[in-house]
Chains A and B, each alone.
Chain A
């Protein structure tokens, strides 16, 4: 069963506009949730790590994520998009606190329009 679902394989926003990338997880609240960014032909870089103890987490590069338990979602946002934000973004979860295996979503490609 899919543990994490990213909504939209491609998202386009204008430079300076709000970035919103959506991630839904399965009904059980995961103990850990991550957002990673991947630039072309590079590895994954951690944007932020979310634990169930918080509702809002600030990451690098101006990104932040809000945990919405009622909606089983953790959406990634940034108030003002930059051209350098164009990349692939992955939502990922660890399903059990004692586990260490990360399960990745299929990714969302973010396009920034000039």
Chain B
């Protein structure tokens, strides 16, 4: 069964360092989402892509976060510099074309900033 892939699964870094997360959506899924999930909370949308274009990045802290999906397939989310408050689970999800609104989630990347 096709799945959303994410790497790494776990990342520990020190504050002020740069980190990057990778997501490979299910093949053929045009829409890709990055979420941040703070411990004990529900996921919150950071950025949404339609193919290679950003559809919504209104909740992305653009002073330190960036996201790209250059070829409209896999995507990278970067944080530079990382802050203590960035410790969270970063989830990637994708939806197929054709109007389906079911989002398929990857396993996530657990980030710990020391």
Chain A residues in contact with chain B, CB under 8 A?
9, 32, 34, 36, 41-46, 49, 90, 92, 94, 100-102, 104-107
Contact = CB atoms under 8 A, between A and B. Distances in A.
A49 B56 contact: no
B56 A44 contact: no
A41 B108 contact: yes
Contact of A41 (B4, B45, B56, B110): B110
Contacts of A107: 40-42
B48 interface: yes
Given A42-B107, A101-B56, A90 B42 contact: yes
Given A43-B4, A49-B102, A101 B48 contact: yes
Interface of B: 4, 6, 9, 31, 40-45, 48, 56, 89, 91, 93, 95, 101-108, 110
A94 B42 contact: no
14 contacts: A9-B40, A42-B107, A43-B4, A43-B6, A43-B93, A43-B106, A44-B43, A46-B102, A46-B103, A90-B42, A90-B43, A100-B101, A106-B41, A107-B42
